[in-house]
Chain A
Amino acid sequence: AQSVTQLDSHVSVSEGTPVLLRCNYSSSYSPSLFWYVQHPNKGLQLLLKYTSAATLVKGINGFEAEFKKSETSFHLTKPSAHMSDAAEYFCVVRLRSGATNKLIFGTGTLLAVQP
């Protein structure tokens, strides 16, 4: 079965410092992985996606993630946090079963950015 595990439910950083949000996946074949962000009282916005092309994926707002098969990880990083990055971040895997395109969400990581 495919799943994702977000290792931290809460992460707090200071503005201007690096961000690391950790995600491990479980899959018997090469997965399609995504990071979505949800700002308070807002919808889900796609940050970036990995679909078996380049292992280092660049997304919007300066975020990037690296797919590491040996570590079954897909951690999200950003060199310098901004106050507007405060939100909840979901690591997501697409369930592959025939023609299905069901997304399985991790439990989310709440990112707080301190001034």
Chain B
Amino acid sequence: AAGVIQSPRHLIKEKRETATLKCYPIPRHDTVYWYQQGPGQDPQFLISFYEKMQSDKGSIPDRFSAQQFSDYHSELNMSSLELGDSALYFCASSPRPLETQYFGPGTRLLVL
């Protein structure tokens, strides 16, 4: 069965650079979620989208923005990167809001 696709899988950036993470949900899933998992930490919810509109917002820094496109894929844009942004970023999708979330493999971001 098709799963959530995230790209890139690994990314190395320097401080103050920008990064764009992409997420392709499972086909026919219209809801996308982003989570951040710091080293040794549990995943923390960042933001979610339903039908291309932001549906919920968590602990996402102002330096980050995200959007969902007409084909339901989503991009997380991160600017002015800091060392503390180094983490594993998960995308998840669900068929509709309030349904089970299925996670992608994650993008591991390292900020030097």
User: Could you tell me which A residues sit within 8 Å of B by CB distance?
Assistant: 34, 36, 42-46, 49, 90, 94, 99-108
Contact = CB atoms under 8 A, between A and B. Distances in A.
Contacts of A105: 42-44
Interface residues of B, number: 25
B56 interface: yes
Contacts of A103: 33, 35, 43, 45, 92, 101
A101 B94 contact: yes
B102 A46 contact: yes
Contacts of B55: 99-101
Contacts of A100: 48, 55-56, 97
B8 interface: no
A43 B100 contact: no
Contacts of B31: 101
B98 interface: yes
Interface string B34-51: 010000001111001010
